[in-house]
Chains A and B, each alone.
Chain A
Amino acid sequence: MVLLRSVPPPSEGVRHEQGETTAVLDGKGLGAGTLYVAETRLSWFDGSGMGFSLEYPTISLHAISRDLSAYPQEHLYVMVNAKLNDEMQENAHDDDDEDKSSEEDECEGITEIRFVPSDKAALESMFSAMCECQALHPDPDDEDSNGDFDGDEYDVEEAAPEHGQGDIPSFCTYEEGVSGLRAEGQATLQRLEGMLAQSVANTFHMAGVRTDEANGEFDDGMEVDAGSTVAGQFEDADVDH
């Protein structure tokens, strides 16, 4: 359930609160209200108490929009991995709006929401707060993650429950270095980076890294006896050996 009409804005763990913020849901303006970027969920409520909440796992991406030629005001853009109509109820398929990609969506559909604050200077804080809260909600650990993957539901996040589940994960930019990694992670990074640095330019056929299938291959590989050859686990890769 994406929208929780009767749930009030959270009072705890609010990383950012932005008043005088208009919400535009799939192009329909909902008027001015207050955006609450909380650790548990993202909420927006207008003055009369009407509003909606979003669960972070349903937010595919969010971004700051500053191009006024594309949209007349700077705002926070949010793409939700679900279909919502203007009654703020979740809808599995919205056949009324043909300008949406409903016939191409194999899953629940997409909703685009804009949060337009009157204070444009707050956009960075709103964006950052959402990034932090998103990182607090990785996908739940899947019991099948040990190799029995069906493809579309396998996530790398499920493979790392021990890594700072209670910690606040941090983005690692190149400049920040390895400070966020644990000892074995640092060793891995150094090993990997050392190996990468030594690599000579070669010709490769593969242009993409598949984060889901490839991980499944590695996953299977770890369950195979160390003595067995592992060439077969990469058979899905496009590289010709």
Chain B
Amino acid sequence: MPLLSGLFYSFFKSLVGKDVVVELKNDLSICGTLHSVDQYLNIKLTDISVTDPEKYPHMLSVKNCFIRGSVVRYVQLPADEVDTQLLQDAARKEALQQKQ
């Protein structure tokens, strides 16, 4: 389903430069600025900080990182950066387009 990754790829591209928190499936949360994203939703962050330094102290020393898309559980975004209605509308529209 190329649609899904296309939609979120576009969505995350529109958020490049914004501050996000990426929560991994291993429970690590990384706060940083979204530098770039690829079609597999691999994420590069800059100026990162770790929200749970006791658990992963070694992460404190890194500045830029590449996060494999498949290990991401959530991407937390500032609420005022997300137009959820728009996103839903876009998804609906894409679904209808896909059917034509």
Interface residues of A (CB under 8 A from B): 56-57, 59-67, 69-71, 77, 79, 81, 101, 104-105, 107, 110, 112, 114, 127, 130-131, 134-135, 138-139, 145-146, 152, 155-157, 159-164, 169-174, 180, 184-185, 188-189, 191-193, 195-196, 199, 201-202, 204-212, 215, 218-219, 221-222, 226, 230, 234, 237, 239
Contact = CB atoms under 8 A, between A and B. Distances in A.
Most A CB contacts (10 A, CB to CB) among B62, B69, B82 go to: B62
B69 A156 contact: yes
A169 B40 contact: yes
Interface in B5-20: 5-11, 13-14, 16-17
9 contacts: A65-B62, A134-B68, A138-B69, A159-B3, A171-B38, A172-B37, A173-B35, A222-B95, A239-B84
Given A135-B38, A169-B38, 12 more contacts: A57-B70, A59-B68, A135-B40, A156-B69, A159-B3, A159-B4, A188-B10, A193-B14, A196-B83, A208-B74, A209-B74, A218-B91
Contacts of B64: 63-64, 127
Contacts of A79: 28, 59
A204 B84 contact: yes
Contacts of B36: 171-173
Interface residues of B, number: 74
Interface of B: 1-11, 13-14, 16-17, 24-28, 30, 35-42, 44, 48, 55-80, 82-96, 98-99
Contacts of A135: 38, 40, 42
Contact of A63 (B24, B62, B78, B98): B62
Contacts of B72: 211
Given A218-B91, A226-B95, A226-B96, A188 B42 contact: no
